[in-house]
A and B are shown apart, each in its own frame.
Chain A
Amino acid sequence: APGRAPAMQTAGPGAVASEALSPPSKAVSCSAPHAASAASRYERLESNIGEGTYGKVHKARDTRSGQIVAIKKAKVAAMDREVGGIGFTALREIKLMQAVRHPHLMACLDVFADGGVIHLVMEFMDGDLKKVIEDSSIHLAEAPLRAAILQGSGTQLGEYPALDGLLASASPRGVGGFWAVLRLAGARAAVRFATRERGLFRRRRAVERGAVPARAGLRFLGVAATPARALQDWEGSLLVGGRGLRIDFDALLTIVSDAQMLRVDFGPRLKVPRQVGALSVRIGARSACGGAAEERLVCRRGPPVPAQFLWAPAFGVAAQSAQGQTFELGVAVDVKTGGDKSPPASYAALARVLRREDMLIFRPFDIALAGDKSAGRKCMVRARGAGGPDCASGAGS
C-alpha cells in the first residue's frame, strides 16, 4: 500500500481555492461544540475526494502542524435520524479509530463537531485498498504471508523450501478474496501455500445466478494447518448442516471439490495422492477466549481443535477485529489420501460474519448441484473415493 502522505504537502492541481471549513465562531468555552479551535483549525484544500456510506471526505491542511489530513464528514443515516443526536455509525467509527493504534492503520487525529455534524480528522492516504487490489502489477507482500504461515503452523519457515515458489505465484487478486491452503502432511512436514482463483470464479457464478448474496461468500478465508498427528486419533466423518449453522458455503465447497477432484497442487516435493481415502468435515464455533490473535474454534462434533491449531493468520484476525467483525464458525476438512496408515491432510476454513443476514445457511452441496435432490449424497460418496476403509464410517447429511 502506498505510504502515508508526508507533512507539508502542497495542494494538488485539482485543489480548489482554500477555504476554512467553517467561519471562526465566537469562542464560548472549551467544551462547546462550536469551539473556535475545532473546525477553523483546518483549511480545506480539496472537496469530495471520496464518498462512501459514512459520508464525504475532504482533503485539508492542519494549519497548526501543516499536516495534510483527510476529514470525514459524517452523513446522518436513516436509522440515526430516527434515534436523533450523534449516530451509531459515527460513534462506532470514533470508538474503533481511537482504539486502534498501529503504524499500518490510519490514525484518527481529531474529532470535532461543526454545525451539528461530526467530523473525523484522519491521516491522509493517497490511494485506497481497492486500487491496490485492482492493480495487477502489485503482488502480495511476502512479509504478511510469512507471518501468517508462521502463525498458522507454529514452525520455522526454513523447513518449507517450497514456500518461496508459492509466494511468488500468489495472485494480486488474492488480496481481495483469496483462499489459501496450508498443508502439513507426513512426519516431515511440508507446507504449500496456494491461491485458488477457481474459487473466486465459482463464487462469482453463484452470485450471478442469485444463489449467494453478493456481500457474503469468500471475503476472507483464513486457512491454517495443524500437524497431522494431532488429528490422527479422530476418525469421525461428519457433515453437519441445518438451521443455526451458518458458514461460508462457497469456501467449504471449494476445498471439498478440490480434494474430490484431486486438483490440489501439492507440489513436486510431495507425492500426489491418487485417491481420497476418507473425507470428514468438522464444524466449529468460536470460543470466547482471549484476544484476536488467539481466537480459536472449538468443534461441536468430534474432538476440540488442538491448542496449537490457530485458525486464522494473525494479520487477518487483527484486521477483522479492527472492523468489529469476527469469525464465528469454521469448518475443517480432513482428507485421508491412500490407505489407513496415511495421515490425514487437514484443511480449515473460517467463515467471516459480516452481517448475520448475509451469511449463508449451510446446506451441503445444494448450491453447486441445484435441482438434483440426491446430489449431495452422491457428491459425498464420490468424495470418499473408491474402496477406502473409512467409506462406510460417518454419514453425510
Chain B
Amino acid sequence: QRRPSPQSPARLCEEEGLPDGLLRRRFGSLIWRVGADLQMSPTGTATAALYFQRFLLVAPSSGEEGFSTLRAAMSCVWLASKTLEEPQRLRDVANAFLALEARSAGRGAPVLEMEAYWALRDEVVWHEQVVLRAMAFDAEPTPAYALLAELGQVLCGAGEARGVPALA
C-alpha cells in the first residue's frame, strides 16, 4: 500500500503549529460536529472521539512521518462507523470534515475533485491502519458505564455507600 506524502494535494488543512492540548480540543470538537452532521449515533461519535484521543496518546506529533491529524480524525470517524456497524461513506465523512473545518476557519467549503478525493482516500485508508495499530487493534472501547461503575466502586468502597456501585 502506498504511503502518502505529507505534501500530497489532498492535504487541505493547516494543522501544524498548534499546542498539543489545543489540537486535541479542536479536533475532538470537530469530530463531534462531524458526527452530528452525519447523524451518527452518540455512541458512534463518542467511539470516534475516543479512538482519536487514544491515537494521539501514542502517535508522533502531527506532520512527522506523514501523519496528518485531520486524516487521522477522519479515519477515526470512519473506523468507528464500521466498528459499530453503522457505516458511513468515506466521501461523506471527508466532505463533512472539510466543510466544517473550512467554516470554522471562516472559509468557504472546498470542492473535492475526484482526483483529490482518491488521493485523500488512500491517505485515510493508510491512517486507519495507523490508528488501529496505535490502539493495538483494540477497537472495542470500554463503555462509559463500566468506567463509572468502577469509579463508583473506588469511591464508595465501604459501608452503606455500597448501594451506589451496586445500583450502577
Binding site for B on A (CB under 8 A): 28-35, 38, 83-86, 88, 91, 94-95, 98-99, 111-113, 115-116
Contacts and interface: CB of A to CB of B under 8 A. Distances in A.
B129 A33 contact: yes
A115 B125 CA distance: 12
A111 B138 CA distance: 9
Nearest to A86: B128
A280 B141 CA distance: 46
Given A85-B78, A85-B82, A91-B82, A29 B60 contact: yes
B80 to A, nearest CB: 11
B63 interface: no
Contacts of A85: 75, 78-79, 82, 90, 124-125, 128
Most buried by A among B3, B59, B137, B138: B137
A116 B129 contact: yes
Contact of B60 (A31, A34, A113, A116): A31
B140 interface: yes
Given A31-B60, A32-B130, 19 more contacts: A30-B134, A31-B59, A33-B1, A33-B132, A83-B82, A83-B87, A84-B121, A85-B128, A86-B128, A86-B129, A88-B82, A88-B87, A91-B139, A94-B139, A95-B140, A98-B138, A112-B137, A113-B132, A116-B129
A30 to B, nearest CB: 7
A29 B87 CA distance: 29
Interface string B128-158: 1110111011111000000000000000000
B83 interface: yes
18 contacts: A31-B58, A31-B59, A31-B133, A32-B65, A32-B133, A33-B130, A38-B133, A84-B90, A85-B78, A85-B79, A86-B82, A88-B82, A91-B82, A94-B139, A95-B83, A98-B138, A98-B140, A112-B133
Nearest to B60: A29
Contacts of A95: 83, 139-140
Contacts of B87: 83, 88
A91 B78 contact: no
B82 A29 contact: no
Contacts of B126: 33
Contacts of B136: 111
Contacts of B83: 91, 95
Given A30-B58, A95-B139, A95-B140, A113 B121 contact: no
Nearest to B58: A31
A33 B75 CA distance: 14
Interface residues of B, number: 32
Nearest to B136: A111
Contacts of B115: none
A90 to B, nearest CB: 10
A75 B134 CA distance: 22
B113 interface: no
A64 B79 CA distance: 31
A324 to B, nearest CB: 11
B44 to A, nearest CB: 14
Contacts of B160: none
Contacts of A112: 133, 137
Nearest to B1: A116
Nearest to B137: A111
A86 B125 CA distance: 8
B149 to A, nearest CB: 15
A91 B138 CA distance: 10
A272 to B, nearest CB: 51
A113 B133 CA distance: 8
A115 B90 contact: no
A29 to B, nearest CB: 5
Contacts of B75: 85
A113 B75 CA distance: 16
Interface in B81-114: 82-83, 85, 87, 89-90
A46 B168 CA distance: 50
B129 A113 contact: yes
B1 A115 contact: yes
Contacts of A86: 79, 82, 128-129, 132
Contacts of A91: 82-83, 139
Contacts of B85: 88
B54 to A, nearest CB: 11
B125 to A, nearest CB: 5
A33 B130 CA distance: 5
A35 B139 contact: no
Interface in B30-62: 55, 58-60
